[in-house]
Amino acid sequence: MKDFSNLISAIEITNKTNAKIEALVNYFKTAPNKDKLWLIALFTGKRPSRPVKSNLMKSWVMEITKLPEWLFLESYSSVGDLGETIALLLPNPENTIEKPLHVWIEELINLKPKTDEEKKAYVLEAWNGLQAQERLIFNKLIGGNFRIGVSKKTLVNALAKLSGIDANQLMHSIIGNWTPNSISFEDLLNGTHINYDNSKPYPFCLAYALEKELPDLGAENDWQVEYKWDGIRGQIIKRKEEVFIWSRGEELVTQQFPELVAAIAQLKGDFVIDGEILAIKDSAVLLFNDLQKRLNRKNVTKKLLEEVPVGFYVYDILELNTIDLREFSMEERRRKLEELFQQETDELLQLSEVINFKNWNELDALRNEARSFNSEGLMLKKKTSLYHVGRKKGEWWKWKVDPLTIDVVMIYAQKGSGRRSSKYTDYTFAVKNEDKLVTVAKAYSGLTDKEITEVSKWVNKNAIEKFGPVRTVKPELVFEIAFEGIAYSKRHKSGVALRFPRIKRWRQDKTVKDIDTIESVKALIDAN
């Protein structure tokens, strides 16, 4: 546990990815193999279910410290994390307990069916034998919360540096079907439980936001223009009668989209295609909010398949019958893609439309109309471009529609994390609903450091109530927020959900009387 605790400390004190990778590599070099497996499991969502309720832990620590509940809650509000609050409040340990990580986790798994008294005896004994940082880790093991700034990609890059194994193969391996008790660390790295040769994806080719005037791009005939869609970018791979779907986030999502697997399986030949997974119903592309209902589902029910059907808009082809096409031009790849789709295909699979236009002036109007059918704008791809790894300036451009904006008032504020933990950086905004206010969005980006400092000083002076780390404030500060899309939502009190809200500017020239109403916000849905 001490080595794992030191690793967490090393990761939390830096925001540099390379430093985190180095800390992970050093841990993997010395930790027991079972501890390595459990670290990977914890950081990739394969956590055991919670064995002890948080209310029990809260009552036990108040009993030990003899703190009244109001003082405990005030401490919790200041710290913002239950596990850390408990670790800080407990008295110094009287004993020393040294066990490897995997033993602690196995004991916690076995603790779940025990009585509350048995759980209390075990937890109190552990608290009395661990230092403050180790107690924090122990509490996090109980709660299952390991959001410490290590993404799957960072973890995989550390394993790749350690082993020399391809990062994509490692990603496929660690998100595959395994448990720490069903596989060895070496077999996990080598992917003995997967068939990687058939499923291996390619790095995605990406675009820059358009930063030139259209005439500066040159001749119109040199460019292929398509609509930009707001879904999940993905690669679908069909090799040796097996089908795999990878997201741009390097996650294998095959099981989430069984209808796409079935549609691809009907096509003849082997290939790798690049495109967008979209929610589509009655031939119309739905909003991303609809697609979200299909994401991260372990079991896709028949009802969900009917409520949110998906399709795949195909942009590109990267491999055909074992031949790597990435060094072919965009124009040549498109021709081969169209040849592949000359065979009879399922209606779930659609070639991305190539927009015919005569001059650059036509495109601005097409871009402005895109939101009306849930497109984000246009993609401009040079016909001579290769399928590069990542971005190459000048080859692919994304030209999105202008964001929507509304004026809102801040009603809640919460402190940030890391270097911003002393300032209020996370805000909740509201609009008018008759004579009341109703929340419409949360945002934490868009202000300068100077503005954040000013807002934080204002919050300290104008806070009305405390709810844990959240402060209710006087509804006086008005902001203009921007967002990419808007939809009706039953999950939100306001009845609407905003896509990618962020602060555009602080409207110090306006008062709460000038903010939008919920009616004007909903009107944006019908207008777009």
What residues are paired with 426 via a beta bridge? 414
Strand residues in 142-210 grouped as ranges (E): 205-206, 208-209
Tokens 């806070």 appear where?
463
User: What local confidence, expressed as pLDDT, does residue 420 receive?
Assistant: 65
Q: What is the CA radius of gyration of the chain?
A: 26
CATH superfamily label, 205-400? DNA ligase/mRNA capping enzyme (3.30.470.30)
User: What local confidence, expressed as pLDDT, does residue 417 receive?
Assistant: 65
CATH 1.10.3260.10 fits 2-143, yes or no: yes
- Rounded CA gap, 134 and 155, in Å? 22
Residue 93's closest CA among 135, 129, 138, 132?
129
* Distant-in-sequence, close-in-space partners of 195: CB < 8 Å, separation ≥ 6: 242
Residue 155's closest CA among 296, 30, 252, 11?
11
Tokens 């001579």 appear where?
384
User: What local confidence, expressed as pLDDT, does residue 418 receive?
Assistant: 57
Tell me if residue 228 is catalytic: yes
Question: Which entry of 34, 140, 152, 228 is annotated as an active-site residue?
Answer: 228
User: What local confidence, expressed as pLDDT, does residue 217 receive?
Assistant: 95
Residue 277's closest CA among 319, 301, 320, 309?
309
- Rounded CA gap, 428 and 440, in Å? 8
Cα dist from 449 to 106, 309, 365, 444, whole Å: 45, 44, 37, 12
Asked whether 201 and 237 are in contact (CB, 8 A), the reply is yes
Tokens encoding 198: 């058939």
- Rounded CA gap, 346 and 344, in Å? 7
User: What local confidence, expressed as pLDDT, does residue 146 receive?
Assistant: 65
Query: Within the chain, which residue ranges are assigned CATH 3.30.470.30?
Result: 205-400
Per-residue pLDDT of the chain (528 residues; tens, 9 = 90+): 888 888 988 888 887 889 999 999 999 999 999 999 999 998 887 888 899 999 999 999 999 999 999 888 878 877 767 888 899 999 999 999 999 999 999 999 999 999 999 999 999 999 999 998 899 999 989 987 666 778 888 899 999 999 999 887 888 788 777 889 889 999 999 888 877 678 888 889 999 999 999 999 999 999 999 999 989 999 999 999 999 999 987 778 898 999 999 999 999 999 999 999 999 998 899 888 889 888 877 788 899 999 999 999 999 999 999 999 999 999 999 999 999 999 988 999 999 999 999 899 999 889 989 988 889 999 999 999 999 988 888 999 999 988 899 999 999 998 876 566 678 999 999 999 998 999 999 998 889 989 999 999 999 999 998 877 789 999 999 999 999 888 888 878 888 889 889 999 999 989 999 999 999 999 988 766
In words, the CATH class of domain 404-527 is mainly beta
Asked whether 485 and 230 are in contact (CB, 8 A), the reply is yes
- Rounded CA gap, 99 and 493, in Å? 47
Using a cut of 0.75, tell me whether the model's pTM lies above it: no
Query: Within the chain, which residue ranges are assigned CATH 2.40.50.140?
Result: 404-527
Asked whether 471 and 459 are in contact (CB, 8 A), the reply is yes
What residues are paired with 66 via a beta bridge? none
Query: Within the chain, which residue ranges are assigned CATH 1.10.3260.10?
Result: 2-143
Tokens encoding 280: 């589509």
- Strands laid side by side in the 375-382 sheet: 208-209, 396-400, 375-382, 223-229
